[in-house]
Amino acid sequence: MAAPASAPADSRSRQAVRDVVFVDGVRTPFGKAGSKGQYAQTRADDMVVKVIRELLRRNPDLPAERIDEVAIAATTQIGDQGLTIGRSAALLAGLPKSVPGFAIDRMCAGAMTAVTTVSSGIAFGAYDVVIAGGVEHMGNHPMGEGVDPNPRFVSDKLVDPSALVMGSTAENLHDRFPHLTKERTDSYAVLSQDRYDAAVRAGKISPDLVPVSTRSEEGWGLSTTDEPPRPGTTTEDLAGLKTPFRPHGRVTPGNAAGLNDGATGALLADAETAEQLGLPVGMRLVGYAFAGVDPEVMGVGPVPATEKALERAGLSIDDIGLFEINEAFAVQVLAFLDHFGIADDDERVNPWGGAIACGHPLASSGVRLMTQLSRHFAEHPEVRYGITTMCIGFGMGGTVIWENPNYNGGQQ
């Protein structure tokens, strides 16, 4: 009789956790949602195909069959954002049929969660190379389309009704922190527009944009630039804008991100595989954390998420030399900066502007933050650590800590 298979000699032994690296990231230009936007007649899955193909084109030493997974996030997973979009987009992009894929959702932090999820798999040894990203076509699928919130949320007073409207949660944040005035948020919004415009003129943005063929009633076109920015915006321009979420409120279309369409994608790998394949390393993953907060003030979510991530990594906010903070609402960014004692115009924060200028296609934005941070790292070898962080609908925040592979010991 054959002897039963024996257990490992030491059941406590585990495979060493592997280093995870961010290889490269790209995105489509972001568009304005709606019938007049540049992607009005473009499918969401076709935008994902563009970023997958561009990642492979930019990294020709990576055999397509070495990709172990394709994780794509979408907040509204129906229509052209449904059908397990990670798998369907992989097939449409021409990846080998042996490459699996899946869809994921954490609202605004969808792409961020796609990255952290597959990075855990890489660290564990389940994957070597992965594509992760996100897409949102808010013109085809407005936020909340097809959603049926359980009535107990309101009837049982589990959340304030305003928690279901993101703009209302931003107004609530103003209420909680009255020193975060509309004047401060408008000034921050102008700063975002100015920094983004300066980055465009300096050639910082376009290298990571993949052109997308578009169609309209006028015929075929080519999207090569972000559609939402409003260069030259002044605080005087913003002062008279309507406050759609509350009469005499403080949140306006000028100090918040708009409704947008777009897709992002990133290549991640374990450090050893990246070296074997000759893939570039933009940054190394240090750690990450997600945290929950009261849904009616969801914009404060990045604060506990960052504290949690820093504590687990054994770091402090003083160790962070670069910040990429998603700008869903200016008040949400300012709440984060005030908490950590960072000035509104600190040059370490969103050096190339943010979502108030370039747009925020919900589930795609996390990888935009990461791609930009990796580019900042290349320009700033004196900086060792940076973070990407964002608030998340229904009361959450997410933060990822990254290390600069070009770090030179702090020398300027």
Q: Is 151 exposed, middle or buried (0-12, 13-18, 19+ CB in 10 A)?
A: exposed
Query: What is the radius of gyration, based on Cα positions, of the chain?
Result: 21
Q: H or E stretch including 98?
A: none
Give the other-Cβ count within 10 Å of 121's Cβ.
18
CB 404 within 8 A of CB 377: yes
Q: Which of 108, 137, 141, 380 is catalytic?
A: 108
Both tokens of residue 367?
């990888």
Both tokens of residue 214?
């578009």
DSSP code per residue over 301-352: THHHHHHHHHHHHT--GGGEEEEEE--SBHHHHHHHHHHTT--TT-TTB-TT
- What is the rounded distance in angstroms from the CA atom of residue 133 to the CA atom of residue 187? 31
Q: Is 391 a catalytic residue?
A: yes
Q: Which of 174, 360, 376, 380 is catalytic?
A: 360
Q: What angle do CA 271, 277, 278 make, to 5 degrees?
A: 85
Both tokens of residue 164?
């279901």
- What is the rounded distance in angstroms from the CA atom of residue 390 to the CA atom of residue 396? 9
Q: H or E stretch including 52?
A: helix 44-58
Q: Which of 174, 376, 380, 391 is catalytic?
A: 391
Q: Is 358 a catalytic residue?
A: no
In this structure, which amino acid lies at residue 144?
Answer: G
Q: Is 360 a catalytic residue?
A: yes
Q: Which residues have a catalytic role annotated? A: 108, 360, 391
